[in-house]
Amino acid sequence: MNHLSPGVWGVVATPFRGSAREVDEASLVRLVSHYERIGVTGLTVLGVFGEAAQLSSTERREVLEAVADSVELPLVVGATALGTAPVIEEGLLAAEAIGSRVTALMVQVNSPRRDVLAAHLRAVHEATGLPIVVQDYPAISGVSIPADVLGTALADLPFVAAVKAEGPPTPPAIALLAARLDVPVFGGLGGIGLLDELAAGSAGAMTGFSFPEGLLACVNAWREGGFDAAREAFLPYLPLVNFEQQVRIALAVRKEALHRRGLIEESAVRPPAASFPATLCEPLDRHLAAVEAAVRVSEGVR
């Protein structure tokens, strides 16, 4: 069995520095070390939030190596392309760069037809030997697949290690997939539906929220105390979750938050992604201060 462990998987940002926005390895190491320290289950590298679509293959290799060298966490590696041959190439590059440190390759749904999708996933697995995390993210892929078709497509694929369900509305989709499949199903989307995804049967969160401590608090509380405990634990983080998960600017907001938390040196995103709107500076500071105050109180209580 190669299923991903349940819990919180951090989707790692790729920090950039300077006017050329080069990959900032030192910040990357700082960031993933923080993730390891707070106790996430694993990391997802080169995902959408990692701006993998903006990186050359040399840079992708650099990112993978830096992360693998810095932490001992299991690593899911995202593939950006939708075509079979380029996805295989991405998988082979990951395997070549960090070998057995690749826990699974994350592959996007590339067709609403279950036979086409299954053949795609099978071909990628066969050529790379890697377990596959299937990501359903229509806002990025442009492909919409009904949850029941996705469930049918994946039902007979033993190499599937997990599903990342990001086609809203996610709670009913996750309820269907979790009932149908025996692999773990994770929510994403910055955690905006985390509580309801857990209630629907998700195995946790795989996303890039700037305060992953909140995702951990919620998922851990869920295990111990169910809905009410998870709700209570997530409350202090939820205003920031909603603030971050704004269409088009979510990436910029999150990197700015990571920067202000001191986890990365600069908040720059690579164009054509939108940059952080100046009008949101003060609200972001207020959000971060409020979360930090709430966390201090909660830690003081313990």
Contact footprint for a second copy (CB under 8 A): 51, 53-59, 81-86, 88-89, 110-111, 113, 116-117, 119-120, 142-143, 168-172, 175-176, 192-193, 195-196, 199-200, 227-228, 231, 234-236, 238-239, 242-243, 246-249, 270-272, 277, 279-280, 282-283, 286, 290
Nearer to a second copy, 119 or 157 (CB): 119
Of residues 42 and 184, the one with the C-beta less far from a second copy:
184
Question: Could you give the residue ranges of the DSSP H alpha helices within the chain?
Answer: 25-38, 57-70, 84-98, 114-128, 138-141, 147-154, 170-180, 194-199, 212-234, 238-244, 250-260, 281-301
Task: In angstroms, give the least distance from the CB of 240 to a second copy.
Answer: 10
The answer to whether 134 and 107 are in contact (CB under 8 A) is yes
Nearest distance from residue 131's CB to a second copy, in Å? 21
Could you write out the DSSP letters of every residue in 30-62? Answer: HHHHHHHHHT-SEEEESSTTTTGGG--HHHHHH
Minimum distance from CB of 175 to a second copy (Å)?
4
Nearer of residues 39 and 223 to a second copy, judged by Cβ = 223
| Minimum CB distance to a second copy, residue 159 (Å) | 19
Amino acid 123 reads: A
Nearer to a second copy, 72 or 224 (CB): 224
State which residue, 123 or 155, has the beta carbon closest to a second copy.
Answer: 123
Strands 22-23 vs 16-17: parallel, antiparallel or unpaired: antiparallel
Nearest partner of 30 among 57, 67, 62, judged by Cα: 67
Evaluate whether 67 touches 14 at the Cβ level (below 8 Å). Answer: no
Q: To 10 degrees, what angle do helices 114-128 and 84-98 make?
A: 30
Q: How far is the CB of 289 from a second copy (least distance, A)?
A: 9
Q: Quote the least distance from Cβ 3 to a second copy, whole Å.
A: 23
CB 111 within 8 A of CB 150: no
At 101, the amino acid letter reads: R
C-beta of 71 vs 253, nearer to a second copy: 253
Q: Residue type for 108, please?
A: Q
Residues linked to residue 107 through DSSP beta bridges, in sequence order = 134
Least gap, CB of 5 to a second copy (angstroms): 24
